[in-house]
Amino acid sequence: MRKTWFITGTSSGFGRQLTEQLLARGDRVFATLRKPAALDDLKASYPEHLRTAVLDVTDAAAVRSVVGEAFTAMGRIDVVANNAAYGLFGAGEEVSDEQIRLQLDTNLLGSIQVIRAALPHLRAQGSGRILQVSSEGGQIAYPNFSLYHATKWGIEGYVESVAQEVAPFGIEFTIAEPGPAKTGFRTGLVRAEPMEVYAPTPAGDVRRAVTSGSFVLPGDPVKMARAMIESIERSPAPRRLVMGSSSFVAIRAALMRRLGELEAQEEVARSTDAD
């Protein structure tokens, strides 16, 4: 069954891949982006199935307006793919106040506002799926990406709560967690001014790996986008969708380590209950 999608951040990366694949299979897409010309080729090929709008997700009023426009124009939206985001590259001490604010405003608050804007419309139609594009970085963390991880761990916590709140209305969530892939993410990084003191630390190691190109990107963005689309057909919705073998290994190891740490604290945890 063909579906209608609302997708943010479609000029490149996973947003672009999702849009291309959905249009090719006959779905309808309302795509938002900051550079409207980036989808001109797809608009020419799929004039009846693709609509676009300029949107900066840091503008909450614009988010509400464009989401409302999309539901009105399309009649119904089956899937909201919340994808707009970028990476802030720098140790926690290196990034500037302005860089921190924009990272949070885009990745975390922007994603929250898209969800908040969509929920009344999804409730009114009695069903819908929200595909929140997060990252393996929503469950693990690399040095030199602390603020990026803060947004991804944050949006995953938000989704975990809201998913319980809106389940009675037939609204489901899936958190997509792709690992490193050749999506252009690296070229879109915003970089902090490096401090020499971090050069011999793990933050410096990651900085050199990314700068030199030796940071391995094993994921295939085409396959990952396909897996996201296929997840929409699964019922009930999978809460998380991990993509990439390296991500599976890293997330599993992190969860096992945290579980071991938790179990080692059982006696302390139980001893702190009120008498």
Instruction: Look up the CATH number of the domain holding residue 14.
Output: 3.40.50.720
In a domain, 191, yes or no: yes
In a domain, 129, yes or no: yes
Please state, in angstroms and rounded to a whole number, the distance separating the CA atoms of residues 184 and 230: 23
Query: What's the token pair of residue 144?
Result: 């030199």
Quick one: pLDDT at residue 201?
97
Q: What is the pLDDT of residue 262?
A: 98
Task: Give the pLDDT of residue 141.
Answer: 97
Any idea which residues carry the catalytic annotation?
Answer: 134, 148, 152
- Number of structural domains found in the chain: 1
At residue 240, φ and ψ (nearest 5 deg) are: -130, 150
Is 273 contained in some domain?
no
Q: What is the pLDDT of residue 212?
A: 85
Global confidence as pTM: 0.95
Residue 49, both tokens: 């199935």
Find the domain containing 202 and state its range.
Answer: 4-244
Q: Residue 195 has what pLDDT?
A: 97
CA atoms of 109 and 150, how far apart (whole Å): 12
pLDDT at 123: 98
Which parts of the chain register pLDDT below 70? Answer: none
Which pLDDT score, from 0 to 100, does residue 178 have?
A: 96
pLDDT digits (tens, 9 = 90+) for 233-256: 999 999 999 999 999 999 999 999
Instruction: Report in angstroms the alpha-carbon separations of 127 from 97, 166, 203, 238.
Output: 40, 10, 44, 16
Q: Quick check: is 92 in a domain?
A: yes
